[in-house]
A and B are shown apart, each in its own frame.
Chain A
Amino acid sequence: MALNFGRWTSGGESVTAEEILQQIQGRFGDEIRTAEVRREEACLTIRADRNYEICRFIKEELGYDYLNCLSGVDWPADNEMEVVYAISSLKQPGKIMLRVRLPRDEPVLGSVVPLWGTANWHEREAFDLFGIRFENHPDLRRILLSEDWIGHPLQKDYQDERFVPYPWDDRKPGGVARPTTA
């Protein structure tokens, strides 16, 4: 029962990143905040409320069914949190970077676990380290930190007196971090 998809570059019509963008924009025009092609990747920023439908469209109708990575990013300057999906496929070329911006004081997003099993642990990690809550997640618990941990360490303003990183000194040549003496 070897599937042997073979090499996608050798056969079949390849879809360009522009075409992927057009298809998504044609379907969800109002939901897309920005769309551009960078490094041959289709990069999209979408509104938060319909991320599940857009992911389902990408997975089931465009055929990009392989979720490489799901990552949180904290943007305190904009007072926003971001979730980035890196999506690709084993059957066709092309990559999609899907970004969702969330309000920082209430980061809630629909879970994509029903579409991709791998999102389970990735979303738990984003919850653990960023405090982003995923609605309809089957088992939203901390994954890397202990259950009783307070705070979310990858938030930019996270402070813990036990773990103070060496302050960054831009003036020192080579940008070497050094310990404080206070």
Chain B
Amino acid sequence: MTTVNLQLEQIKERTAESMEEMWVNMGPQHPSTHGVLRLLLKLDGEVIRECIPYLGYMHRCHEKIGENRAYVQIIPYTDRLDYLASMYNNWAYCLACERLMGIPVPERAEYLRVIIGELQRIASHLIWLGTFGLDLGNFTIFMWCFREREMVLDLFEAVSGQRLNYSFMRIGGLALDVPEGWLADVKAFLEWFKPRLPEYDRLSTDQIIWQKRIQGVGILKPEDAISYACSGPVLRGSGFHWDLRRDDPYSIYDRFDFDIPVGESGDVWDRFWVRRREMEESVKIVEQALKEIPPGPVLSPVAKKLRAPVGDIYSRVETPRGELGFYIVADGSERPYRYKVRAPTFVNLSALPVMLPGYFIADCVAVLGSIDIVLGEVDR
């Protein structure tokens, strides 16, 4: 045996000894966990073998607070669940209460809810695209996305006076009608926004670095997606043609014509591409709603003391992140007896341990980013 070969043998032996699997802690103070999430990763060299998430750093027992508040008083708390899509949380909660109590919603309020909800979806996907770009080291797209998101926030500030936690929806409609000229502003925003999407593509979709980073990474198989009850873009990225706006229609979504983008292989790229195309579909829905919106009141006459009949309901809607469900048990009083939030990212995050194994530690940030977690909702 030559000297070189002998050295090689020795190196192999030594690495076999030292290349034991090791546990590495990621977070909770990690910039790419989008909040305070702790992941325990078992590494074999650079390859992830196992992942254990630890949650609860922002837990405030939202559900216990809900049991001690009147139905109307819970609305501001729902803002704080998914603080990047507060309007949609308000809507989901109010819809659950309306279904439980049998309260109708005026036509104009339904249209405004759809317009606001889809603008919120655009804003939420924009912040996702921006921070996901940041995770991958693309800083420019972060600034560009926040530029357009700021415009949506300005529109919401005009209707509600708030920039993030709106509390704008009410059980039975909306708190206020929109100010004069607001609908024209929305139209102007859409005209500005549509040509921006190809610009984002130049920074993301068409970029070879972007493609190489996320294609074929973090694959979620269809059977896992069903077993882990994933929803939203994570489910659609795995090939399921499923959207509650169409398949379990609520509000007036059955009146609009829109497509449901679907991925093929369930990798990070598919989840990115589903969200990117959903922004176009949201624009289509808002444009249709702007054409048809009727005048009229925006709030049904609702009793000051709202009491729900004895019973329970599981009501679900399609938020930007997936299926947000509210399970409410009513005992006939002014407060819910039990109030449970089925948070979409809590459930989607539970599939992370099956997405990560086998990929490099450098991909971990991309896979985690592609779930689009919001810890306010995961930890509740």
Interface positions of A (Cβ within 8 A of B): 1-9, 38-39, 65-69, 71, 73-74, 84, 86, 90, 95, 97, 116-118, 120-121, 129, 142-146, 153-154, 165-166, 168, 170, 173-177
Contact of B350 among A2, A90, A121 (CB under 8 A): A121
Distance (whole angstroms) from the CB of A106 to the closest CB of chain B: 21
Q: Given the complex of chains A and B, what is the CA–CA distance between A155 and B372 in angstroms?
A: 32
Distance (whole angstroms) from the CB of A144 to the closest CB of chain B: 4
Q: Given the complex of chains A and B, what is the CA–CA distance between A168 and B337 in angstroms?
A: 13
Question: Which residue of chain B is the closest to A139 with respect to CB atoms?
Answer: B52
For B312, list chain A residues within 8 Å (CB): 84, 97
Question: Which residue of chain A is the closest to B264 with respect to CB atoms?
Answer: A2
> With A1-B264, A3-B241, A86-B327 in contact, do A168 and B227 touch (Cβ < 8 Å)?
no
Question: Which residue of chain B is the closest to A113 with respect to CB atoms?
Answer: B227
Q: Is the CB–CB distance between A117 and B338 below 8 Å?
A: no
Distance (whole angstroms) from the CB of A123 to the closest CB of chain B: 11
> With A2-B264, A71-B340 in contact, do A175 and B70 touch (Cβ < 8 Å)?
yes
For B337, list chain A residues within 8 Å (CB): 73
Q: Is the CB–CB distance between A129 and B63 below 8 Å?
A: yes
For B240, list chain A residues within 8 Å (CB): 3, 5, 90
The 30 listed contacts between A and B (C-beta, < 8 Å) are: A2-B239, A2-B241, A2-B264, A3-B241, A7-B247, A39-B313, A65-B226, A66-B229, A67-B229, A68-B323, A73-B338, A84-B312, A90-B240, A97-B312, A117-B350, A118-B351, A121-B350, A129-B61, A144-B56, A144-B61, A145-B56, A145-B59, A146-B56, A153-B61, A168-B68, A170-B334, A174-B305, A175-B70, A177-B70, A177-B73
Contact of A121 among B59, B67, B329, B347 (CB under 8 A): B347
For A146, list chain B residues within 8 Å (CB): 56
User: Count of A-B contacts with CB under 8 A?
Assistant: 125
Distance (whole angstroms) from the CB of A82 to the closest CB of chain B: 9
For A3, list chain B residues within 8 Å (CB): 222, 239-241
Question: Which residue of chain A is the closest to B378 with respect to CB atoms?
Answer: A144
Interface size of B as a range: 35 or more
Q: Is the CB–CB distance between A118 and B342 below 8 Å?
A: no
For B351, list chain A residues within 8 Å (CB): 117-118
Interface residue? B224 (CB, 8 A): yes
Q: Given the complex of chains A and B, what is the CA–CA distance between A87 and B64 in angstroms?
A: 24
Interface residue? B134 (CB, 8 A): no
Q: Is the CB–CB distance between B227 and A118 below 8 Å?
A: yes
For B67, list chain A residues within 8 Å (CB): 154
Interface residue? B284 (CB, 8 A): no
Distance (whole angstroms) from the CB of A49 to the closest CB of chain B: 24
Q: Is the CB–CB distance between A165 and B64 below 8 Å?
A: yes
Interface bits B358-379 vs A (CB < 8 Å: 1, else 0): 0000000000000000000001
Interface majority SS on A: helix, strand, loop or mixed? loop
Q: Is the CB–CB distance between B262 and A4 below 8 Å?
A: yes
Interface residue? B273 (CB, 8 A): no
Select the residue from A8, A9, A116, A121 with max chain B CB neighbours within 10 A: A121
Q: Given the complex of chains A and B, what is the CA–CA distance between A165 and B380 in angstroms?
A: 17
Q: Is the CB–CB distance between A1 and B305 below 8 Å?
A: no
Interface residue? B246 (CB, 8 A): yes
Q: Is the CB–CB distance between A69 and B70 below 8 Å?
A: no
Distance (whole angstroms) from the CB of B174 to the closest CB of chain A: 20
Contact of B241 among A5, A166, A176 (CB under 8 A): A5
Question: Which residue of chain A is the closest to B70 with respect to CB atoms?
Answer: A175
For B194, list chain A residues within 8 Å (CB): none
For B139, list chain A residues within 8 Å (CB): none
For B73, list chain A residues within 8 Å (CB): 176-177
Which A-B residue pairs are the 8 nearest by beta carbons?
A: A118-B229, A117-B227, A144-B56, A69-B342, A165-B68, A121-B350, A71-B340, A144-B59
Interface residue? B42 (CB, 8 A): no
Q: Is the CB–CB distance between A2 and B262 below 8 Å?
A: yes
Question: Which residue of chain B is the closest to A6 with respect to CB atoms?
Answer: B241
| A118-B347, A121-B350 given; 15 more Cβ-contact pairs under 8 Å | A1-B239, A1-B265, A4-B239, A8-B247, A68-B229, A68-B325, A69-B314, A69-B327, A117-B224, A118-B351, A144-B61, A145-B56, A154-B61, A165-B64, A165-B68
Q: Is the CB–CB distance between B325 and A86 below 8 Å?
A: yes
Select the residue from B224, B229, B241, B311 with max chain A CB neighbours within 10 A: B229
For A68, list chain B residues within 8 Å (CB): 229, 314, 316, 323, 325, 342
Question: Which residue of chain A is the closest to B323 with respect to CB atoms?
Answer: A68
Q: Given the complex of chains A and B, what is the CA–CA distance between A174 and B35 in angstroms?
A: 36
For A73, list chain B residues within 8 Å (CB): 329, 337-338
For B380, list chain A residues within 8 Å (CB): 144
Q: Given the complex of chains A and B, what is the CA–CA distance between A111 and B37 in angstroms?
A: 26
For B64, list chain A residues within 8 Å (CB): 153-154, 165
Contact of A5 among B69, B242, B263, B329 (CB under 8 A): B242
